[in-house]
Amino acid sequence: MPFERLRERRGKIGAPDQLAGKTTSLLASVRHLDTVEGLPARYRLQVRAGLLDETLKLANYSAVTHLIIAGAVTWFFWNSAPKSYLVGLLAVIAVTIAATIHTNRLYRRAYADAVSEEGVSRGYRVAGLLALVLGLAWATMPVMLFAPADSNERLLVVAIAAGLISDVYVIGPLLSVSFLFAVPVILGSFFGLARCGEPIALSISLLLLVYSTFVALSVTRMSRLSRERILDRVRVQDQGETIGLLLNEFEENTSDWLWETNEWGTFQHVSPRVAEALGCTVEALQQSSIEVVLRQGIEARSDADQTEDILEHLRQARLFHDHLAEIKTPSGSRWFRLCGKPFHDQSGSFAGFRGVGSDVTESREAEAHIAYLATRDALTGLSNRVAFHEVTSIACAAAVSDPQAAPASLLYLDLDGFKAVNDRAGHGTGDLLLQQVAERLRSTVGAEAQVFRLGGDEFAIVHRGRRPAEAEALAEAVVAALCAPYTIDGMRAEIGVSVGIAHAPQDAMSTEDLLRKADLALYSAKEAGKGRWRRFDIDLDRRVHRWRELDVAMRAGLVNGEMDLHYQPLVNLQDGEVVGCEALLRWTRTDHGVVSPAELIPIAESTGFVIAIGQWALRKACAEALNWPSHMRVAVNISSSHFRLPDFSREVEVLLGEIGLQPQRLEIEITESIFLVNTTHVLDNLRALRSLGVRIALDDFGTGYSSLSYLTQFPVDKIKIDRAFVRDLSNRPECLAVIKAVMVIARDLSIDVTVEGVETEQQAELLRARRCNSAQGFLYSPARPSQEVQGLIDSIPQNIKITRRSSRHAA
């Protein structure tokens, strides 16, 4: 058999000098695997050093891993293998590992800063020798341990051998080192399998051959990619240095003029361009010093001037580059950009400065003009938002720091009806309208105020007056001025304006806070009917704080179990049986009491947290409905923003599958607002849910955005008539007529009808006569906790029978 023939082969070990010679020859023979021939000499050394460095980065970690594995082998096979062999294997590996860590440290200490050919070659030789020793040591492990081991221990030997072979990925950048380590381990594994002589060993050897081939090919490719990557990095670095030198040379040769001083700063050589720029002769300039020229004539320097910095570099003989200096000349103040470099004589002593300079006065003036334009609104010519923040910050700081200073008042303006004009007449007309608004604002405000356009149809006025009443009078005048009709290209346009006012330091001490509070006042003016002004009131701030407080608290409340679902029964009007319950959100804050859903839901809608609440409510309601009779449905209100999500139907399907509730028992209540946008996703969700078996109910029908076209365009199973039609059912015949008409339409479309807000038996009797399907309201029960639902199911039909019997007797 092949394994018997392999077992007969034995290697002979020669004398120590022969062994050393063979080892040297072996290392030399595999060194060509890491060849970098064909590269320029300046690249070759850096590539070889890079490959060695990448290998050594993980060498210590690999070494420690080998030591741990050797210890594990000793531990696992202590009772089943020769102890002398285990101790010897552990000792050899420990010594090799110690040598690896030590030589790694020595190499980095000696050659980290200065890479040399000799150091890199020595690193290759040492790394190969250590890898070979370590590979030979591990090669004995399968030979010694596999044959005498039991099945579990053999599995451990195979796993360790495979793991050791995969270690070549760590030292992969140096292909020679990888092979010097892996080949002995692979051969040792084959010998261990051959020594076993069992048929299973042949199968394992074939798998080992496939695995070894894959590892060899992978490591070869990884080594090649590492060489290419390091070579690319070396080339990029070399080209970068070359490009840098070329750019510096180009920059120096294209400067406007040259200058040179001696060690005392006196000009030795100046270009005629320098003298021309400074408005003097070359002779006069050579008798002066650079410090005198830089300091002349300028008393109050701008923030951009770097004259003092230039003088400091000159005193310390340090290089400086692209420094701006403002210099007084006969033709006026001019700006120069200077570069300077110290130079030394043959003895190494400082000999002066050489440099280049250019006149950048025109570019500085252009920059100043651009900066001015950056603070102006291009359409109206008013100051823009950038200037607004700067002016308001200064005004707030002055009002806060000096109690005697005039207070700063901010008037925040938003045009009423501008969007309608803009949409109807076009953006060109809208732009002309904004220009006329700007002109009216300029003519309305006085010298103590400044007008800004913040963007769109939003404007602001910063007013500095002695009394807040002056700003309020200005607001009144602005409202009157802007509400007057406009004529644009023969077209008459009418708009209004709402104004919010906040004062500093009375209401706020910073620009951001002042603008926020003026915005709150503006919102109050909008709520009051537009076309008016309102000043900031502390109650507005309290409302915002309340909003933010509840926004934070409701997230914690949902997690902490403060929120719960109560259920209001839906009663069949004909037989009085409870056919389902609507889940209604209840929130009782710890130490704060009950929070109304009317306050909670708008906040959750605005922040998007209503989606998380909807997901929680769906899961909880479906889980609790499992405890009800099988004919009862549970109705859950879903926000339009939640329903519009493209994967909402899938979310419901997964939830029902997890909980185990039949889809027919779930009824999702939506409002017509979901149809206003994103109709594609809405239709997809509606169709998917109905095909699943989930019922769709259209809530608050008859109010808000209600349209009979929704009943024909969108698939729904039920409509819920709003309580507003039930409240005056007895006193207003038109309400009953509306309900009757809805019932006719619903019957023809096979849609169920539920009436909300039923509070009296008289209302119930009128609805029953119109053959409404079901009703809910305080007549039957308010919303109750889940544990009381079963009691309601039992008691409501009995109560209805008693009430009807009493009504007949009374009649």
Helices (H) and strands (E) counted in the chain, each on its own, are: 30, 22
For 733-768, the pLDDT digits (tens) are: 777 888 888 888 888 788 898 989 898 888 888 888
Regarding beta strands 666-670 and 695-701, do their DSSP bridges make them parallel or antiparallel, or are they unpaired?
parallel
Run of H or E including 472: helix 468-483
Q: Which tokens belong to 380?
A: 């109206």
Instruction: Give the list of residues 6+ apart from residue 418 with CB closer than 8 angstroms, or none.
Output: 430, 433, 434, 457, 495
The pLDDT value given to residue 5: 36
Taking the mean position of all CA atoms in its chain, how far away is CA 656? 32
Count CB atoms within 10 A of the CB of residue 309. Answer: 13
Q: Return d(Cα 687, Cα 694) in angstroms, integer.
A: 10
Confidence at residue 111, expressed as pLDDT on a 0 to 100 scale = 62
Q: Apex CA 121: angle with CA 115 and CA 122, to 5°? A: 95
Identify whether the C-beta of residue 645 lies closer than 8 Å to the C-beta of residue 677.
no
Torsion of CA 507, 513, 514, 520, to 10 degrees: -90
For every residue of 510-524, DSSP letters joined together read SHHHHHHHHHHHHHH
Angle between helices 199-253 and 41-57 (to 10 degrees): 130
Report DSSP letters for 363-396, one per residue: HHHHHHHHHHHHTB-TTT-SB-HHHHHHHHHHHH
* Residue 153: both structure tokens together: 């221990």
| Percent of the chain residues past pLDDT 90, beyond the cut | 22
The radius of gyration of the chain's CA atoms, rounded to the nearest angstrom, is 44
Burial of 36 (0-12, 13-18, 19+ CB in 10 A): middle
Residue 570: its pLDDT value, please?
94
CA distances from 121 to 39, 48, 265, 308, 515 (A): 17, 9, 53, 54, 70
Express each pLDDT in 83-94 by its tens digit: 888 888 888 888
- Provide the residue ranges of all domains of the chain, joining segments of one domain with +: 37-236, 257-367, 399-536, 568-584+606-804
Average pLDDT for the chain:
81
Are 445 and 467 within 8 A, CB to CB? no
Q: Does the structure show a pLDDT above 50 at 26?
A: no
Sign of the C-alpha dihedral computed for residues 86, 91, 94 and 96 taken in this order: negative
pLDDT tens per residue across span 419-429: 888 888 888 89
pTM: 0.47
Backbone angles phi, psi at 569, to 5 degrees: -70, 145
User: 298 vs 52, which has greater pLDDT?
Assistant: 52
Looking at residue 73, its pLDDT comes to 85
Among the residue ranges 243-252, 330-339, 351-360, 701-710, the one predicted with the least confidence is: 243-252
For residue 324, pLDDT beyond 90: no
Q: Average pLDDT of 391-412?
A: 84
Question: What would be the CATH architecture of the domain defined by 257-367?
Answer: 2-Layer Sandwich (3.30)
* CA–CA–CA angle 565, 717, 766 (5° rounding): 85
| 191: confidence class by pLDDT, cuts 50, 70, 90 | confident
Asked whether 298 and 324 are in contact (CB, 8 A), the reply is no
Q: In percent, how much of the chain has pLDDT > 70?
A: 88
Q: Helix (H, G, I), strand (E, B), or coil: what is residue 449? A: strand
- Given a cut of 80, whether residue 254 has pLDDT beyond it is no
Question: What pLDDT score does 566 carry?
Answer: 95
- The Cα–Cα gap between 150 and 754 comes to 76
- How many residues does this entry show for the chain? 811
- Of 32-36, 216-220, 347-351, 654-658, the poorest mean pLDDT is in 32-36
Token look-up 């045009």 returns: 415
Please check whether residue 38 is in contact with residue 113, taking contact to mean a CB–CB distance below 8 angstroms: no
Q: What is the mean pLDDT of residues 109-138?
A: 77
Q: Is the pLDDT of residue 279 over 50?
A: yes
Ramachandran bin of 135, using left for φ above 0, alpha for ψ from -120 to 50, beta for the remaining angles? alpha
pLDDT in tens, 61-71: 888 888 888 88
> Residue 433 — very low, low, confident or very high, per pLDDT cuts 50/70/90?
very high
Give me the pLDDT at residue 703, please.
66
Q: What residues have CB less than 8 Å from 738, skipping those under 6 apart?
A: 702, 725
pLDDT band at 811 (very low <50, low <70, confident <90, very high): low
> Is it the case that residue 27 has pLDDT exceeding 60?
no
The amino acid at residue 212 is S
Does position 368 have pLDDT exceeding 80, yes or no? no
Fold category of 568-584+606-804 in CATH:
TIM Barrel (3.20.20)
Task: Specify the CATH number of the domain 399-536.
Answer: 3.30.70.270
Residues 6+ apart with CB under 8 A from 80: 148, 149, 150, 153
CB 514 within 8 A of CB 502: yes
- The lowest-confidence range among 94-98, 193-197, 470-474 is 193-197
Residue ranges in 561-662 assigned as alpha helix (H): 597-607, 610-625, 640-643, 648-659
Cβ–Cβ < 8 Å for 486, 493: yes
Amino acid at 143: V
Residue 472 has pLDDT above 80, yes or no: yes
Q: Could you say which DSSP state residue 407 is in?
A: P
Domains 257-367 and 568-584+606-804 share a fold: no
Tell me: cis bond preceding 505? Omega within 30 of 0 counts. Answer: yes
Cβ neighbours, 10 Å, residue 423: 10
Confidence at residue 586, expressed as pLDDT on a 0 to 100 scale: 94
Tokens standing for 584? 């209604």
The predicted pLDDT at position 13 comes to 34
User: Nearest to residue 343, comparing CAs of 270, 250, 263?
Assistant: 263
Maximum Cα interatomic distance, the chain, rounded to a whole number of Å: 129
Whole-number pLDDT of residue 17 = 45
Query: What pLDDT digit, counting tens, does each position of 677-720 carry?
Result: 656 788 889 999 999 999 999 887 766 555 566 676 677 889 88
Alpha-carbon distance of 303 to 165, in angstroms, equals 66
Q: Pick the residue with more confidence: 278 or 497?
A: 497
- Residue by residue, DSSP assigns 107-151 as HHHHHSSS--HHHHHHHHHHHHHHHHHHHHHHHHHHHHHTTTS-H
Res 602 pLDDT > 60: yes
Give residue 33's pLDDT.
55
Which ranges constitute the DSSP H helices of 265-384?
272-278, 282-286, 290-295, 307-315, 361-374
Read off the tokens for 553.
């608290």
